[in-house]
Each structure stands twice: as structure tokens, then as C-alpha cells.
Amino acid sequence: MNHMIGSLKAILETGKKLVEVRDAAARSELIVQFTRQIMDAQNVEAGLIEKIHALEQKITEFEDWKREKDRYQLEELPPGILMYRLKEGMENGEPIHKICANCYINKKKSLLHNLGTHNGLTEWKCHSCGFKESTGHFSPPPTEPDESNYFL
Ligand SMILES: [Zn+2]
């Protein structure tokens, strides 16, 4: 912004000189300078517009993420694994699911995939950051009945 004010001040100064100077050679030199300064100011303006657009984009992304992150709440599953689960009433037509706490901290929504439950342990995986953990309590599989006793 200071650069823009500096550019405008320079244009104003050159403009004042143009009004005062009568010598033709000096005037044409001032006109060249004046034109260059206006082009510089236009470049500065274009740069500022670009920065404003980038900031607007960031604000929109921030607002989108804020709205999205508020749909989830942190939960801890045994033995102490943290993940975010969809709050009740926030489904918006989506099935109940969980998202990765690592990615959430980095302002990113990544689904946690349930890879299945075996022997009381449910395995979870995030395909974005590679988070992989099991939750639940291990329960040993029931012992197979001894088939040799079937025909006794
Ligand atoms: Zn993740």
C-alpha cells in the first residue's frame, strides 16, 4: 500500500512540474517520466488486486473449513486413540463416519477408513497422512473344537 502512495505522490510531483515548465525539451522529458510513473502505478495496482484476490480466497477457505470442522467432535477410543467423529444432527445426508485427528490439526478433512474388526480390534486408516491404528480390546479367538472328537 505504501508503494501505491509513493507512486501517486511521484505522479503528482511530475504533474506539477509539467504545469510549471515551459521549455519544450524539458516538457517532453517530463511527459516520458509521467507516462512511466503511471504505468508503474498500474503495475502496483494490479499487484494489489492480485493480493486481495488471494486473501479473499484464503478467507473463503478458512470459513469453509470452520463450517466443516464444527460438524465434528474429538473422541478417544481405547486404548487412547484420538479421532474426530461426526456430531449427531450434522450428517447432512452423509453416513456416520470419522475423520483423522492428524489431518484435522492441519485444517484438512480426511476420512478414516474402517478396515474391519478382528478379535475385538477395529483397524483404522487415513489414506492422506498414513495414520493407522487399532482400537478396542483384544479378545482371543474362541478355540476351535477338536474335530477328532466328533465321531466318538
Ligand atoms: Zn490423516
CA of 129 to the centre of ligand 1 (A): 4
pLDDT band at 146 (very low <50, low <70, confident <90, very high): low
CA of 120 to the centre of ligand 1 (A): 23
Average pLDDT rounded to a whole number, residues 110-135? 97
CA of 102 to the centre of ligand 1 (A): 5
The reported pTM is 0.68
In this prediction, residue 145 carries a pLDDT of 67
Taking only the tens place, the pLDDT of each residue in 4-37 is 899 899 999 999 999 999 999 999 999 999 999 9
CA of 108 to the centre of ligand 1 (A): 8
Strands (E), 4-152: 72-77, 81-86, 98-100, 111-118, 121-126, 132-136
Strands (E), 22-120: 72-77, 81-86, 98-100, 111-118
In this prediction, residue 142 carries a pLDDT of 79
CA of 127 to the centre of ligand 1 (A): 7
Strands (E), the chain: 72-77, 81-86, 98-100, 111-118, 121-126, 132-136
Taking only the tens place, the pLDDT of each residue in 53-65 is 999 999 999 999 9
Residue partners of 133: CB distance under 8 A and separation at least 6:
81, 123, 124
Average pLDDT rounded to a whole number, residues 139-151? 71
Q: How far apart are CA 45 and CA 10, in angstroms?
A: 15
CA of 4 to the centre of ligand 1 (A): 43
What pairs with residue 97 in β-bridges?
A: none
CA of 109 to the centre of ligand 1 (A): 8
